[in-house]
Each structure stands twice: as structure tokens, then as C-alpha cells.
Structure 1
Amino acid sequence: MTTIEDCKLIEIPRIQDRRGNLSVIEGDTIPFNFKRVYYLFDVPSGSKRGGHAHKQQFEFLISLSGSFDVVLKDGKNKRIITLNRPNQGLLIAEGIWRELENFSSGSVCLVLSSGLFDESDYIREYKDFKLLKK
């Protein structure tokens, strides 16, 4: 059974020079090969995203611009992580409930996922998530 302790912040290598910064995700930067990339933007003030868990997929979230909070739950414990640096991401293990909230104006959340979209991999109701974690 996964717990919120299985979720961790990962530094993304950053190359700095007078022209600006460049970060690269390759090789073993993150502990899975990603098959899907998507991003959230123009999230209205006060809105929440996420509100689900995955049975099998891992995800890696990065705040490319602005900031937002990621609320992680494992059925017993809760942890809130603020993402606000484009060279740092949050690894979310399978079996972890996540909610994204407190988006700043202009924020962009990039998500790298270990799997293609598969509705059967989603747990969309928190009560179902709690039952699964028992």
C-alpha cells in the first residue's frame, strides 16, 4: 500500500548562463518513463483540479509558471505541498489521492504521466478511494 511518504519532491537539473535557465528531464531524472504529457492553465481563481487517484499510474507535476498547492491523501494522512519552481517537481505514486488548489494568476501545471489516458485507472470518488485503501 502506498502512502504519502512515497510522494517526493525531485530537483530537475538546471543549466544556468547569461541567456537564462534551461531544465531537462531525461534519463533517470524521474523514476518512470512517461507516456503522456498534459498541462493545466488559465485555472480560474478559487477553482480546484484533480480530485482523484490512479490505481496504476505515476505522475510528476511541475509548476512551469506561478504556484499552486497539491493536497495529497493516502486514506490516513494528509500533506500539502506548494509547487512554485520550474526546476522542481512532485512525484505522485499510484494509489494517492490528489487535489490541486490555490492557483496563482498565470500559473501553469505540467504533468508527466506513466500511462496513457485510461478511465478504468481512475478512482474519482473519495469514498471509493477510502474503501480501496482499507
Structure 2
Amino acid sequence: MTNKKYTIQNSPFVVPTTDGKVIKEHFGLATEGGSKISIAHMKAPAGWSEPFQTPEFDEYTFIISGKKQFIIENEVVILEAGQSIKINKNTRVQYSNPFNEMCEYLAICLPAFSMDLVNRED
């Protein structure tokens, strides 16, 4: 039994997708079974979008490269590399990349992302 005071993640969980988006969860439900926080490295291709959702978690996003569009309630917000945002839980939001370049970003969810808590619209 090890008694380490840290964990290095060399094998993040690659979430299966059908929309071209690459999701690598470094910490969260899929990697550790923990529900307190999830940290994921994302790459959203040009033209990607998700349905509107009303998550039961706070979501922090930091843009590494490219741009990402958020429709928060009825307001359109566009972030570029080096910018970040916190979207409070129970807020209706749609994430997309309608631009001509890939968007790379980090997403942190408190509590951890779960399909049971995301509340995506059909």
C-alpha cells in the first residue's frame, strides 16, 4: 500500500464521443470515481456544438487556444485564448465552436461532471 500525498495523471480517461470533440478527463468520476471535482482537457473542432443544458454543477472554462462560444440564458459570450469563465450551476447554457479553428480548453466542474447532473435538452 502506498501513502502518497499526490497523484500524477498520465492516463486520463478518453470519453467516447461521436461529434469529433476530444475529451480527456484527468480527475473525476471516470478516472477516480470521485464526485467532488472533475478536470478535463478538451479539443472542440470547428463547427462543433452541444445541445442546451442546465447543469447541477458550477463549470469553469479556461481557453488555451482558439475561441469558444457560450449562449448563457439568452446572452452570447465569446471567449478567446487566455480568458476564463465560471458559469453557475442551474444556469441554462449552450457550448459551441462556430469558428474556423479548433478550440482547446480546460473544463473544471464542481461537483464533478456527470450525465445525471448535466440535464441536456433533446
**Distance (whole Å) between structure 2 residues aligned to residue 85 and residue 91 of structure 1:** 15
Higher relative contact order (CA 8 A, sep 6+): 1
- What is the CA-CA distance between 1:113 and the residue it aligns to? 0.8
Identity of aligned residues (%): 14
Q: Does the 8 Å CA contact 1:66/1:104 hold for their aligned counterparts?
A: no
**Distance (whole Å) between structure 1 residues aligned to residue 64 and residue 77 of structure 2:** 15
Give the structure-2-normalised TM-score. 0.60
Matches of residues 1-134 of structure 1 in structure 2 within 5 Å? 35-43=37-45, 45-49=46-50, 51-55=52-56, 57-73=57-73, 78-86=74-82, 88-101=83-96, 102-125=98-121
CA gap of 1:103–1:50, structure 2 versus 1, over 3 A, is farther
- Alignment length (residue pairs): 86
Runs of 4+ in 1 over 3 A off after TM superposition: none
Aligned CA-pair RMSD: 2.0
Output the amino acid matched with 1:98: V
| Structure 2: runs of 5 or more not aligned | 1-35
CA gap of 1:83–1:46, structure 2 versus 1, over 3 A, is same
Larger CA deviation: 112-121 vs 58-67 = 112-121
